[in-house]
Amino acid sequence: MKLPRPVIPTLVALAFFGGWEWLVSSGRVNDVLVPAPSQILQWFLEALKSGELLSATWVTMRRLIIGFAIGVSLGVPLGALSAQVRWIRDTIGVLALGLQTLPSVCWVPLALLWFGIREEAVLFVVVMGTIWAVVIAVQEAVLNVPPLFLRAAQTMGSNGWHLWSHVIFPAALPGVISGMKQGWAFAWRSLMAAEIFVVIVTGFGLGSLLNAGRELLRMDQVMGVMAVVMLVGLLADLIFFAPIERWLRRSRGLAR
Amino acid sequence: MSLAPSNSSNPVALALRDVTKRFHGAAGEVTALENITLDVHEGEFLAIVGPSGCGKSTLLSLLAGLEHTNEGTIELDHEAVHAPGRDRLVMFQQDALFPWLNVLENVLFGLRLKPGLSDAERVESARYYLNLVGLGNKEKSRPHELSGGMRQRVALARSLAPNPRVLLMDEPFSALDAITREQLYSDIQEIFTKRQKTIILVTHNIREAVCLGDRVALFSPHPGRVQRVFDIQLPRPRRMNDPALATLAAEVTAELSIHLSQPS
Ligand SMILES: Nc1ncnc2c1ncn2[C@@H]1O[C@H](COP(=O)(O)OP(=O)(O)O)[C@@H](O)[C@H]1O
Ligand SMILES: [Mg+2]
């Protein structure tokens, strides 16, 4: 007999959460340290009802999306320029390589000093998280456009901006998308770190909500926010990146 | 069946004079081509054949304007060639079809860059050439959905559609299986006789060169030079298994081995 594929994962999840619930409710595990799934769920419903969770999610998403958009719209042309112009590649390209390895939460002290405890400081951190991964990905993607495409297009009369918009960018698109995905992941992580460690008066995001839970010793809130953060990350991938990648794979037959 | 047209009385389309091309590679300077002098006449099918490394692709790049000569001149209709241009289209060894465009859009790529046409005329022309290569029913397909032979046909349609003065072909059949190749040989010959294009085909396959060329220029390597030019006076359409063709191919092969056996 062959079980449908979802059966085993469902059973494992049920056993896991059931066991967890039992360990806590029977008092074997202190619920101050580890709240039961039901307690987390209860916090989740309450926070949803009070609007607290939605407003925090909105604040965080807004920062992420604006910061990501700025990072991408600066990073794409910069990466393209860096691929095209040797001395820019040798300067900004190399700088990007270094800065990409720097967790962007390291920018927080400077950002606070430069922008004050304001929205701009958070955005700066998010932009720094996004931009370098995008620059490097775009640069590599453009440099890896098969020369054959360029030669073919040039003999057909394409050059300058037409060559960029009709050949180089479409050819580099898969690489650019995976760079954006990486930039998104970096931005998401750095934003969480910034929100948790810095009290930003201009908005109460998910990170702040998690930190508030810590201060109140409410681990149900902490773990609830963790679950939401995970969910948002998954949803972003599901709604934004996965369809684009699927479309690329289908239309170009890219093997993965 | 028609007799091979005698094109040598036609005016010269492409004129190469003492063309020399050197590369500075990792292993020092390489002379890819040395003192190449050749005339290609209007409506002529010139096949260039030689072992790999004898500068065939380099020559096509020079003709296409993708590379520049170190010495000598290349003229098309008495005008120096120094940049890529629609009047000289290239069909490459691997099909350089764009994977983000479907078949029709690929063929339209060059047409869209050609001024003085309406969009409707462009689409009509693209369809005409797709039908000519027998792929009229594939216009919505993506390149990856086609076989290697079909992709090369699309590439051929794409190179023909903007109606270039000269069609340059860089080993366009070498990645294909024998049956597909045979089919394409007859397609090319049919198109050639029908459209009276000036075609330069580069290949390392001697039989292929003899099958397709009005003339066959044999190149020798290190540095690339014209060793000998053969006139191929066989009627078209020619078939690869024609014994007369085999005899001529053997002659070219013999000439090639003379050179290869000489100590250099
Ligand atoms: N861009 C390049 N840089 C350095 N050497 C090159 C370059 N292109 C071709 N060559 C050299 O020129 C010679 C001729 O190459 P090519 O024209 O590709 O030969 P073929 O197409 O006949 O095989 C070879 O020795 C090759 O190594
Ligand atoms: Mg070659």
Which residue of A151, A154, A156, A250 to mutate against B (max B Cβ within 10 Å)? A156
Cα distance between residue B79 and residue A27, in whole Å: 93
* B130-154: burial string, b at 16+ Cβ within 10 Å, e else: bebbebeebbeebbeebeebbbbbb
pLDDT band (50, 70, 90) for residue B178:
confident
- Binary contact (A148, B96; C-beta < 8 A): yes
Rg of chain B over all Cα atoms, to the nearest angstrom: 18
Output the pLDDT for position B94: 80
Count A/B contacts: CB-CB distance under 8 Å. 65
pLDDT band (50, 70, 90) for residue B226:
very high
Q: Does A53 have pLDDT greater than 70? A: yes
C-beta of residue B18 within 8 angstroms of C-beta of residue B72:
yes
Strands B28-41 and B12-25: antiparallel
Domain count, chain A: 1
* Distance (Å) from the alpha carbon of A172 to chain B's nearest alpha carbon: 10
- Binary contact (B98, A167; C-beta < 8 A): yes
Domain-located, residue A198: yes
Q: Does B264 have pLDDT greater than 60? A: no
ipTM of the complex: 0.86
**Closest of B46, B18, B40, B36 to residue B231, by C-alpha:** B46
Q: Give the tens place of pLDDT for each residue, A85-136.
A: 999 999 999 999 999 888 888 888 999 899 988 889 999 999 999 999 999 9
Q: Which helix (H) or strand (E) holds A155?
A: helix A147-155
From ligand 1's centre to the CA of B179, what distance in Å?
29
Output the pLDDT for position A237: 87
**What value does the mean pLDDT take over residues B184-197?**
87
**What value does the mean pLDDT take over residues A216-223?**
92
From ligand 2's centre to the CA of B93, what distance in Å?
8
What is the domain extent for residue A102?
Answer: 55-251
- Binary contact (A149, B98; C-beta < 8 A): yes
C-beta of residue B210 within 8 angstroms of C-beta of residue B55:
no
Is the CB of residue B52 below 6 angstroms from any atom belonging to ligand 1? yes
- Among A113-117, B172-176, B216-220, B248-252, name the one with the lowest average pLDDT: B172-176
Nearest atom in ligand 1 to B170's CA: 21
Between CA A58 and CA A63, with CA A68 as vertex, the angle to 5 degrees is: 30
For B164, the closest chain A residue by CA position comes to A156
Output the pLDDT for position B8: 67
Average pLDDT of chain B, as a whole number = 89
Both tokens of residue B204? 């390392």
> Which residues 6+ apart lie within 8 Å of B139 measured at CB?
B102, B103, B104, B126, B127, B130
Strand order in the sheet with B12-25: B28-41, B12-25, B71-76, B79-80
- Binary contact (A155, B100; C-beta < 8 A): no
Long-range contacts: B178-186, Cβ < 8 Å, 24+? B180/B147, B180/B148, B180/B149, B181/B149, B181/B208, B182/B239, B182/B240, B183/B149, B184/B149, B184/B152, B184/B153, B184/B156, B185/B211, B185/B212, B185/B238, B185/B240, B186/B237, B186/B239
pLDDT band (50, 70, 90) for residue A201:
low
Q: Which ligand is nearest to the CA of B58?
A: 1
Q: Which residue has the tokens 């047209």?
A: B5
**Closest of B76, B89, B264 to residue B172, by C-alpha:** B89
Nearest atom in ligand 1 to B51's CA: 22
Q: Does B158 have pLDDT greater than 90? A: yes
Q: What percent of chain B has pLDDT over 70?
A: 95
Q: Does B4 have pLDDT greater than 50? A: no
Q: Give the tens place of pLDDT for each residue, B69-106.
A: 999 999 999 899 989 988 999 998 887 899 999 999 99
pLDDT band (50, 70, 90) for residue B187:
confident
For B169, the closest chain A residue by CA position comes to A152
Q: Which CATH class is domain B1-87+165-264?
A: alpha beta
Output the pLDDT for position B90: 92
Q: Which of A156, A171, A251 sits opposite B113 (nearest CB)?
A: A156
- Binary contact (A157, B66; C-beta < 8 A): no
Q: Does A190 have pLDDT greater than 90? A: no
C-beta of residue B133 within 8 angstroms of C-beta of residue B55:
no
- Binary contact (A156, B110; C-beta < 8 A): yes
Domain-located, residue A31: no
Chain centroid to Cα B13, Å, comes to: 15
* Distance (Å) from the alpha carbon of A250 to chain B's nearest alpha carbon: 10
Output the pLDDT for position B11: 86
Q: Does B146 have pLDDT greater than 90? A: yes
Query: Roughly what angle, to the nearest 10 degrees, separates helices A52-84 and A206-215?
Result: 130
**What value does the mean pLDDT take over residues B38-47?**
94
Torsion of CA B135, B139, B144, B146, to 10 degrees: -20
Nearest atom in ligand 1 to B204's CA: 22
**Closest of B80, B90, B84, B85 to residue B15, by C-alpha:** B80
C-beta of residue B34 within 8 angstroms of C-beta of residue B225:
yes
- Binary contact (B90, A155; C-beta < 8 A): yes
Domain-located, residue A29: no
Q: What percent of chain A has pLDDT over 90?
A: 71
**Which carries the bigger pLDDT value, residue A88 or residue B264?**
A88
With the most atoms of ligand 1 within 8 angstroms of its CB, the residue from B57, B60, B61, B66 to mutate is B57
Cα distance between residue A180 and residue A144, in whole Å: 17
Chain B contact for A169 (CB, 8 A cutoff): no
> B110 to chain A: which residues are within 8 Å by CB?
156-157
**What value does the mean pLDDT take over residues A62-66?**
93
Output the pLDDT for position B196: 84
A48 burial level (CB within 10 Å; 0-12, 13-18, 19+)? middle
Output the pLDDT for position A255: 57
Report the half-sphere exposure of B37 (CA within 13 A, side-chain side). Answer: 3
For B32, list phi and psi in degrees, rounded to 5.
Answer: -75, -35
Cα distance between residue A96 and residue A135, in whole Å: 7
Residue whose Cα lies nearest atom 26 of ligand 1: it is B53
Q: Does B2 have pLDDT greater than 50? A: no
* Distance (Å) from the alpha carbon of A95 to chain B's nearest alpha carbon: 28
For B82, the closest chain A residue by CA position comes to A155
Output the pLDDT for position A104: 84
Q: How many residues does chain A have?
A: 256
Domain-located, residue A146: yes
**CATH code, A136:** 1.10.3720.10
Is the CB of residue B73 below 6 angstroms from any atom belonging to ligand 1? no
DSSP 8-state class, residue B15:
E
Domain-located, residue A222: yes
